[in-house]
């Protein structure tokens, strides 16, 4: 799932199911002071991919989390599209990962997963804003500034504070 993986494509799911601690690792990496704009964008992308896969697992636990995942999904797609317009990813096709057979999170990991998703969103927003003013490429600066607002919608979706554009059909 990283740009360094030989033969890998951006957006491929990891071999093992994503757990909250993996997303927390990316969140901790975003706190590093020495990130330039391209590295910050790459880490945000990696975190977004992990957040998506963790969210897909969380959505399988019950209907409430499924609806929130639908709300988060619109934010994820917007971020993927916008990140793809940056100078950093100009020659890369960004595709959000899909796990064909996601496993539901164990009940005792649900709260930790939500906390990890919210924490990632907040830290990514902070890092994007802090890095934007130092970006050497205008397209990177633009994406960092604009999407620092968009990524806040990810936390809002998981906290149930963001509505959906989709209408759920009741059986």
pLDDT at 86: 97
pLDDT at 80: 96
**What stretches in the chain show pLDDT beneath 50?**
1-9, 167
Cα 50 to Cα 13: distance, rounded to the nearest angstrom: 8
- For residue 83, CA distances in Å to 40, 43, 66, 78, 146 come to 11, 11, 25, 9, 10
- Residue ranges of domains in the chain, CATH in brackets: 20-158 (1.20.1260)
Q: What string of H, E and C letters represents the secondary structure of the chain?
A: CCCCCCCCCCCCCCCCCCCHHHHHHHHHHHCCCCCCHHHHHHHHHHHHHHHHHHHHHHHCCCHHHHHHHHHHHHHHHHHHHHHCCCCCCCCCCCCCCCCCCCCCCCHHHHHHHHHHHHHHHHHHHHHHHHHHCCCCCHHHHHHHHHHHHHCHHHHHHHCCCCCCCCCCCCC
Burial class (CB in 10 A: 0-12, 13-18, 19+), 130: middle
pLDDT at 167: 46
pLDDT at 102: 87
Cα 159 to Cα 29: distance, rounded to the nearest angstrom: 23
The four Cα atoms 70, 22, 37, 95 give a dihedral, to 10 degrees, of -40
pLDDT at 32: 84
pLDDT at 75: 93
pLDDT at 45: 97
Q: pLDDT tens digits for 73-102?
A: 999 999 999 999 999 999 999 999 988 888
Q: Which of 74, 83, 15, 8 is nearest to 47 (CA)?
A: 83
pLDDT at 11: 54
pLDDT at 63: 93
pTM above 0.85, yes or no: yes
């Amino acid at each position: 799932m990283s740009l360094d993986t030989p033969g890998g494509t951006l957006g491929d799911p990891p071999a093992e199911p994503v757990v909250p601690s993996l997303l927390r690792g990316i969140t901790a990496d975003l706190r590093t002071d020495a990130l330039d704009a391209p590295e910050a964008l790459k880490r945000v992308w990696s975190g977004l991919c992990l957040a998506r896969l963790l969210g897909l697992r969380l959505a399988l636990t019950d209907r409430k989390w499924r609806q929130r995942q639908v709300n988060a999904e619109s934010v994820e797609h917007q971020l993927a599209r916008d990140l793809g317009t940056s100078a950093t990813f100009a020659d890369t096709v960004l595709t959000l990962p899909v796990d064909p057979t996601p496993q539901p999170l164990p009940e005792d990991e649900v709260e930790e997963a939500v906390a990890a998703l919210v924490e990632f969103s907040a830290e990514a927003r902070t890092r994007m804003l802090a890095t934007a003013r130092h970006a050497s490429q205008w397209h990177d600066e633009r994406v960092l500034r604009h999407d620092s607002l968009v990524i806040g919608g990810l936390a809002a979706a998981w906290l149930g504070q963001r509505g959906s554009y989709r209408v759920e059909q009741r059986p």
